[in-house]
Amino acid sequence: MSSQPFGTRLRAAMTERGPLCVGIDPHAHLLEAWGLPDDPDGLASFTYGVVDALADQVAVFKPQSAFFERFGSAGIAVLEQATIRLREAGALVIIDAKRGDIGSTMSGYASAYLSEKAPLACDALTVSPYLGFGSLQPAIDEAREAGAGLFVLALTSNPEGPQFQSARTAAGPTVAGAVLDGLRELNADADDLGSFGAVVGATIQPTDENLDIRGPLLAPGLGAQGATPASLSKVFGAAVHNVVPSSSREILGAGPNPAALREAAARSNDAFRTVLGY
C-alpha cells in the first residue's frame, strides 16, 4: 500500500513538475512518423523513447492500453515495463483502459491494475460507470487499499456521449451529474485533492454540472483535438486548479528526437502552469 493516497501524491507531483499529463498513444501513424515499423519492436522503441526522454520531467503519463493490446502479449509486456520505468523515475501512471463490469469480474480488473503486487500496477485507472456507479465498488475498494486512484468517465467529448451522459436518472439528475455526485461523496474526507477523479473532455462546452468534486479532473482533448490551455478556465471554472490536462499527439509528434520531445513537453507544461495556478 502506498504511504500516501493517490490524490495527495498527484497534487505533489503536479506542484513539483507541473500539471501536464502526457498521453502515450502509439498510433500506427505515429510509429510511421518516427520511422518505426508497426510491430512490437516499433512499439517498444517508440514507448521507451518517450519514457527515456520525459520520465524524470513530467508529472503524469497516461498510456492508452488499446494501442499496446493490439500487439497481444508482446504489447502488454511493453506497457508493463514502461509503467515500471515511469514510476521508478518518480512519475505517476494512469493506465487508460476504461474497464467496467460487475462483481468478481470488476474485482479482477481492479486487482490487475491497482494491486501493488500486480505486474501492471499503476497509480490510477480509468473506468466506466455505465453498469451503474455501484458496479465500481470493487475498484474503489482496491484503490483505497493500494493508495491508488480512479478516473471515472463523466462528461466525454465524443459526439455520442450525451446520449447517455445527459440522460436523466429516475432520481432527477443527469447520469453525468450522478457520477459526479458519487465521486464527490468518495472524496468528502480529502484534505485537498481526493483520489477519485472524473474524465471530463477539454473540448466540451461549458456545463451546468458541478465539477467541484474535491478530486482530479482528467481532461483529454488538448492540442491536436482542438482544446487549448486558455479554454480550460471556460470549461472547468472554479475547479480548474484540479484539472489534469492530457496531451498526446502534440507532444509525441515532436519525436523521436529526445530534446525536441522535452522542449514540446516543457512548452505545454509552462502554458498549463499559468492557467491552472501552478
> For 53-74, what is each residue's pLDDT tens digit?
999 999 999 999 999 999 999 9
Q: Name the average pLDDT for the chain.
A: 96
pLDDT at 25 > cutoff 90: yes
> Among residues 132, 138, 135, which one has the least CA distance to residue 178?
132
pLDDT of residue 224: 67
Give the pLDDT band (50/70/90) at residue 9: very high
Report the C-alpha gap between 139 and 77 in whole angstroms. Answer: 23
Predicted TM-score (pTM) of this structure: 0.97
Residue 223 has, within 13 A of its CA and on its CB side, a CA count of 24
Give the pLDDT band (50/70/90) at residue 126: very high
Give the pLDDT band (50/70/90) at residue 26: very high
pLDDT at 273 > cutoff 70: yes
pLDDT digits (tens, 9 = 90+) for 161-194: 999 999 999 999 999 999 999 999 999 999 999 9
pLDDT of residue 19: 98
pLDDT digits (tens, 9 = 90+) for 192-230: 999 999 999 999 988 999 999 999 999 998 876 778 898
pLDDT above 90 coverage of the chain, percent: 91
Q: Catalytic: which of 62, 98, 117, 234?
A: 98
C-alpha grid cell, residue 268: 505545454
3-state secondary structure the chain: CCCCCHHHHHHHHHHHHCCCEEEECCCHHHHHHCCCCCCHHHHHHHHHHHHHHHCCCCCEEEEECHHHHCCCHHHHHHHHHHHHHHHHCCCEEEEEEEECCCHHHHHHHHHHHHCCCCCCCCCEEEECCCCCHHHHHHHHHHHHHHCCEEEEEEECCCCCCHHHHCCECCCCCEHHHHHHHHHHHHCCCCCCCCCEEEEECCCCCCCCCCCCCCCCEEEEEECCCCECHHHHHHHHHHHHHHEEEEECHHHHCCCCCHHHHHHHHHHHHHHHHHHHCC
pLDDT at 1 > cutoff 70: no
Q: Please give the radius of gyration of the chain, using alpha carbons only, rounded to the nearest integer.
A: 18
Task: Please compute the mean of the pLDDT values over residues 26-35 and round it to a whole number.
Answer: 97
pLDDT above 70 coverage of the chain, percent: 99
pLDDT of residue 3: 81
Report the C-alpha gap between 229 and 252 in whole angstroms. Answer: 18
Q: Cα-flanking dihedrals φ and ψ of residue 142, to 5°?
A: -65, -40
Report the C-alpha gap between 60 and 14 in whole angstroms. Answer: 8
C-alpha 151, offset from chain centre: 7
pLDDT of residue 216: 98
Report the C-alpha gap between 195 and 182 in whole angstroms. Answer: 13
| 62 is a catalytic site residue | no
C-alpha grid cell, residue 239: 475547479
* Cis amide bond preceding 256, omega within 30: yes
